[in-house]
Amino acid sequence: MRGHAVRERRSIAALTVGGRPDGAVVTVGGIVSAMARKVTRKGGTWAIATVDDHAGSIQCMVFPSTRRLLPTRLAEDEIVLVKGRLDRREDVPRLTVTELIVPEPGPAGGGPVRLEIAEAAVTPESVRRMKEIFQAHPGGTEIHLRVRGRRRTVVYRLGFLVDPRPESRADRKAAVALTRPAAG
């Protein structure tokens, strides 16, 4: 799948707005923003994963026959390529997964640094402070910033490469803590 998946990949927004008919086989890439594991009446496990890209999100249904073939480490914040059959029978289109690839991390081996903040906390000042901290700890690990809104969560790849070691983790946590809105 690797060679043709990238060539044939569609943005999620293009699938959800229209353009591809019900039953079309499509490939999308993105980040798993939500994951729910389910059990069938016969005891088989399956999952519903929400995959986000830069332009939208789509629910991906991973039924037992496919689930057995997937990596056990599939979880939120994983970067994935998903191939499946487009289902437009509901109000919101979704994919019935036939193949799923979780790319292996690069030589650093640790995967991205993941931070999460509320959408209301994203201000010019908080963005400036995070940028200062990221620039103060350069390294080789990508940052994913998960911004939680009222209706949806979006994961951004910030383009900064930081040092993932514990010494710099405290500063990153402080940057996110500074962005939390005051209670009350």
What confidence tens digit (pLDDT) does each residue in 117-167 have? 778 878 888 788 788 888 888 888 888 888 878 888 888 888 888 877 666
All domains of the chain in start order, with CATH: 2-101 (2.40.50.140), 113-178 (no CATH)
The pTM of the full predicted model, rounded to 2 decimals, is: 0.53
By the 8 A CB rule, do 37 and 70 touch?
A: no
DSSP 3-state of 169: helix
**pLDDT surpassing 80 at residue 22:** yes
Residue identified by tokens 């799923």 is 100
CA–CA gap between residue 117 and residue 172 (Å, rounded): 12
Q: Parallel, antiparallel, or unpaired: how do β-strands 94-101 and 25-39 relate?
A: unpaired
pLDDT tens sequence across 81-103? 888 999 988 888 899 998 877 76
